[in-house]
Amino acid sequence: MTVAILLENVDKTYNQVNVVDNLSFSLESGEMFGLLGPNGAGKSTTIRMLITLTKPTKGKVEVAGFDVTRNQAQVKQNIGVVLQQISVDNDLTVWENMEFHGRMHHIREPERGTLITQWLDYVQLGDRQKSLVKTLSGGMKRRLQIARALLHQPKILFLDEPTVGLDPQNRRRLWEIIKDLNGQGMTILITTHYMEEVEFLCDRIGIMDNGKLIEMGTLSQLRSKYGQGLLIKQQGDRIDSQFFPTLTEANQFLDSLGEKTGMMVRESNLEDIFVELTGKQLD
Ligand code: ADP
């Protein structure tokens, strides 16, 4: 297995504050990784360093084996990027947006046209190639961004909150595309606030808070560590929760109590672990 992404003791300092603080982790080639954290945790800054938009203040950052500071061009050649803001040009057609990106990456004809057709078909926009982008729905624009990010055949794809603002159907459609790309061997790093998205898509999950990685593992590793069962106690507006190693143990504890008003037991999920770790609800 080769290492696709490597961060070693990375700091990013703004105004004397480490917004990314001694961050170290690595992803193997082919992994589907979800980076979570409350707002301000440092996720976007981490992605911006990985995609060469900002330089690390300290430490080593390598993407596809290339240093992000010394080998920017090689890094860019190996990555596809879909950032939060929809960055496609509304006044150009679907095809023109793809064409422009292809030229920027020096992809020559006839390969350029072949790849544009291939990726537009892949994201089901083949029949919209002559449409102006401003006439597309939000879901279509997002799929166009993905097709464009894939045009130069990158090995690693960065998706920063790719399904924000999409309706459930479009979100599912995007999940299928993301899963399929990962199935074809692409390494994918995704940030999102949707827990079910991470549970559905990701092999491994990293949780950041205050610039640090505070937890990392598969969902089942995290559930084993924090507890598979959860007791929820509601008193007025306040909700407390308590983890138990298993659902059975949580149920046994509940059964042993005399007063059970406002209490229930269920299986723990990623959001419970997130709240336990960061002390914050997702927004
Ligand atoms: P997240 O993506 O997890 O919400 P960010 O990486 O966007 O977090 O931000 C982490 C912290 O860094 C925040 O406190 C933010 O205000 C700060 N920050 C991000 N970019 C800059 C910048 N260019 N200049 C100063 N502070 C910044």
For the segment 95-121, the average pLDDT, to the nearest whole number, is 95
Is domain 3-217 in CATH 3.40.50.300, yes or no? yes
Please tell me if the CB atom of residue 159 comes closer than 6 angstroms to any atom of ligand 1. Answer: no
Atom of ligand 1 nearest to the CA of 46: 6
Which helix (H) or strand (E) covers residue 177, if one does?
A: helix 168-183
Q: Is the pLDDT of residue 282 over 60?
A: no
**150 CA distance to ligand 1 middle (Å):** 27
Within the chain, all domains assigned CATH 3.40.50.300 are found at 3-217
> Are 278 and 37 contacting, i.e. CB atoms less than 8 angstroms apart?
yes
pLDDT classification of 239: cutoffs 50, 70, 90: confident
For the segment 33-37, the average pLDDT, to the nearest whole number, is 96
pLDDT classification of 223: cutoffs 50, 70, 90: very high
For the segment 85-106, the average pLDDT, to the nearest whole number, is 92
Please tell me if the CB atom of residue 163 comes closer than 6 angstroms to any atom of ligand 1. Answer: no
Q: Is the pLDDT of residue 143 over 60?
A: yes
Nearest CA to ligand 1 atom 26: 14
Q: What is the pLDDT of residue 259?
A: 87
Distance, CA of 84 to CA of 98 (rounded, Å): 19
> Nearest Cα to 192, choosing from 224, 231, 164?
164
**19 CA distance to ligand 1 middle (Å):** 6
**161 CA distance to ligand 1 middle (Å):** 15
pLDDT classification of 280: cutoffs 50, 70, 90: low
Give the pTM. 0.93
Q: What is the pLDDT of residue 283?
A: 45
Exposed, middle or buried by CB within 10 Å (0-12, 13-18, 19+), for 81? Answer: buried
Question: Percentages helix, strand, coil for the chain, rounded to the nearest 5?
Answer: 40, 30, 35
